[in-house]
Amino acid sequence: MEIDGLIGNPTSLAGGLLTIDPTSSLHDNNNIYTTPTFSAQLQFMATDFRLRLIAQCIKTSPDPITALQCFTTVQRPAPNIDALSLQAGGLFDFTGNWGPPHHDHRVGVEADMRITNPTFFIDSKFRIMLHDAVINALMDDPVSGEDLADPTSNHWHLVSLI
Amino acid sequence: MKRMSILLSTLMLCSLSSVWAQTTCPPPPNQVSVNVTANASLDPTTQLYTYTYTLASDPGSVQDIVSFAVAFEGSITNISDPQGWDHGLMFTGSTVRWSADVAADFPPGVQDQGQVPPSAFPVKPGSRMTGFIFASQKPPGPVKYFVHGYSPVPPQASEADAEQFSTVCGLKGSFLQRGVTGSTLGPVNFISVNISIKPPAAAPVPINPGEKGVTPVAILGSSTFDASTVGVSSLFLGPGNATVLGPGNAAVVGKAELEDVNNDGFPDLVVHFPSQQIGIQCTDTSLLLRGKTQAGTPIRGSEAIQTVNCQL
């Protein structure tokens, strides 16, 4: 089964507010594809998250000068995506029944977002804001999971509602 | 005997694995009883309405409120937040959503495994919070609100478990629709009202375009629309923009008055128009009523008609 109309996403989106890691140990390093709408949702999420970080910086600034600097001083964390879809979708449908896991990865509307990876650790005080950005971007309420024995591998499964 | 033993062992294993596979879902984020009040005030200088919302959580609510959203029409500006809350527009651009996004510590014994932490500034059961504010050029009318309680999603042991959990527990679907929804005041282009032409005639209402006399129209009240708030002098009917006949006109039987023409328990406003001014054409299939509430909010309503005695 092939999915038409998926687009390739660059490793940096929304002006660097979202990064995508195309490497994979399971297949070719080309799992960068999504539907155009889902790509727009991911960028919307990253922008919303960035605005929240700036807003919190401003609200906690001791004076107006420091608050103004929030627009340049707030740089991190930037969310990182480590799995999208292949160019024609599919492939993960090895069982032939469209069952889990990775069901929605096959049609370009799911992304794995690193949350607790040491390199891209999203502190819980930022994670609550990132969760709101995910919801505002019209995605499912994300579930964390991968390997409870190795919590650093856990990530959120972002799925489009559109 | 040996075969029976193997069968029993297999059954026991299947039974155990089904127990292990059982999923304990978190409660939906709708375990709150909330009263949402809205205030809309017009600045005559800027012609901007300022909308202010207050949430009052009932003492019987089970969950803390951590999210509040309001749908709107047009655009909004000057959005303000209560302490510890932040706002954002949703992807569709027609809903603003506030959330209590200053994190508190995880409860004792809960390990950080990538889940969403609780909020430091929720609306607790039995408390209230105001300060959800924005401005709009659009006048007030009925809009939807969405309130959510805090219901943490536990981490899952594998990718497959996470996907299954999401499906089984109903997390696949609009976050907004899983909370508490209701109607409040917000910016609208116009209020859509139901009307009844020549009540109690049923649609399509037979109308002779050449008829003289008066045409009564009832603006129907409902649980979300108070017909007594209509500005009678603002009403226009049909392509001819007919205006309401005043109570002093001899052609009017009675005057603009409130009565329950459809027996639904809500008062309806009955007004009369000069039939000749309505401007009905033989090809028309519906009549549009336009007007405003006494507060200035545009209203619109239409009903299907069937022209009779026409010579096409």
Residue-wise pLDDT for B231-272, tens only, equals 999 999 999 999 998 755 545 544 568 999 999 999 999 999
Q: Strand runs (DSSP E) across chain A, as ranges? A: 7-8, 12-13, 18-20, 33-34, 80-83, 110-114, 144-145, 155-159
Rounded to two decimals, what is the model's pTM?
0.81
Q: Which residues of A touch B (CB under 8 A)?
A: 40-41, 44, 48, 51-52, 55-56, 100-103, 115-116, 124-125, 127-129, 131-133, 135-138, 140-148, 151, 154-157, 159, 161-162
* Cβ neighbourhood burial of B217 (10 Å; 0-12, 13-18, 19+): buried
Phi, psi of B119 (to 5 degrees): -95, 150
Mean pLDDT of the region A33-59? 93
Whether residues B40 and B182 fall in one domain: yes
Q: How far apart are CA B93 and CA B70, in angstroms?
A: 11
Write down the ipTM of this complex.
0.89
Q: Which among B88, B159, B161 has the least Cβ separation from residue A48?
A: B88
Whether residues B56 and B177 fall in one domain: yes
Whether residues B163 and B232 fall in one domain: no
Q: How far apart are CA B50 and CA B98, in angstroms?
A: 16
Whether residues B226 and B132 fall in one domain: no
Which of these three, B187, B206, B232, is where a domain ends? B187
- How many domains, in total, are found in chain B? 2
Cβ pair A128:B117 closer than 8 A: yes
Whether residues B207 and B145 fall in one domain: no
Does the beta carbon of B152 lie under 8 angstroms from any beta carbon of chain A?
Answer: no
Q: How far apart are CA A69 and CA A55, in angstroms?
A: 12
Nearest to B107 by CA among B94, B90, B91, B120: B120
Place of tokens 């109690």: B200
Cβ pair B88:A125 closer than 8 A: no
B1 is a domain residue: no
Which of these three, B128, B154, B187, is where a domain ends? B187
Cβ pair A127:B91 closer than 8 A: no
Task: Identify which has the larger pLDDT, B170 or A50.
Answer: A50
Half-sphere exposure of B100 (CA within 13 A, CB side): 21
Q: How far apart are CA A15 and CA A47, in angstroms?
A: 9
Residue-wise pLDDT for A119-156, tens only, equals 888 888 999 999 999 999 999 888 888 777 777 778 89
Q: Which among A52, A144, A162 has the least Cβ separation from residue B114?
A: A144
Q: Which among A55, A124, A137 has the least Cβ separation from residue B86?
A: A55
Residue-wise pLDDT for B10-19, tens only, equals 444 443 333 3
Task: Identify which has the larger pLDDT, B170 or B254.
Answer: B170
Residues of B in contact with A157 (CB under 8 A): 159, 162-163, 166
Whether residues B57 and B178 fall in one domain: yes
Residues of A in contact with B155 (CB under 8 A): 143-145, 148, 151, 154
Residues of A in contact with B92 (CB under 8 A): 138
B39 is a domain residue: yes
Residue-wise pLDDT for B199-242, tens only, equals 999 999 999 999 889 999 999 998 878 999 999 999 999 999 99
Cβ pair A135:B91 closer than 8 A: no
Q: How far apart are CA B193 and CA A70, in angstroms?
A: 47
For B24-33, B45-54, B173-182, B260-269, which range has the lowest pLDDT when averaged over its residues? B173-182
Which of these three, B153, B187, B221, is where a domain ends? B187
Query: At residue A91, does pLDDT exceed 50?
Result: yes
Whether residues B86 and B147 fall in one domain: yes
- Tally of CB atoms within 10 A around B218: 24
* Shortest CA distance from B106: residue in chain A: A124
Q: How far apart are CA A150 and CA B155, in angstroms?
A: 12
Residue B119 lies in domain: 34-187
CATH of the domain at B53: 2.60.40.1170
B28 is a domain residue: no
Q: What is residue B23's DSSP assignment?
A: -
CATH of the domain at B276: 2.60.40
Mean pLDDT of the region B38-57? 93
- Which tokens go with A56? 């919190």
Whether residues B124 and B38 fall in one domain: yes
Domain borders along chain A are 7-159
Q: In percent, how much of chain B has pLDDT > 70?
A: 88
